[in-house]
Structure 1
Amino acid sequence: MFKNILIPTDGSDLSRKAVLYGVQLAKECKSKVTALTLAEPYHVASLDAVLVSVGE
């Protein structure tokens, strides 16, 4: 039925349930799983004697 199943996750409890379901479905269909993890951008702040800057 499916050759490859994409399972995106953001680390939440609901996405963990989706991962378990996706893996179970892949086993039943004898298909491969591709996992994708998403995260919010990480911002870095630096301090200079004259200037304060915030960047990604």
Structure 2
Amino acid sequence: MLGWALTFLVIAIIAAVLGFGGIAGAAAGIAQILFFVFVALFVISLIVNLMRGRGTRV
């Protein structure tokens, strides 16, 4: 999912450089939403791992 966020961010940057304001804004908005969804899922997975009480085994 982070890959999708980075893809839309690159599309937004390229569109902004070329002057396509509407496309750049839409792609940047999608990238931002995907990034925050990714961060929320990451934090939830960390909390669930801590609740289980299992550590990493060496």
TM-score computed with the length of structure 1 as normaliser: 0.35
Structure whose residues are more often strand by fraction: 1
TM-score by length of 2: 0.35
Question: Greater share of helix residues, 1 or 2?
Answer: 2
Q: Which has the larger radius of gyration?
A: 1
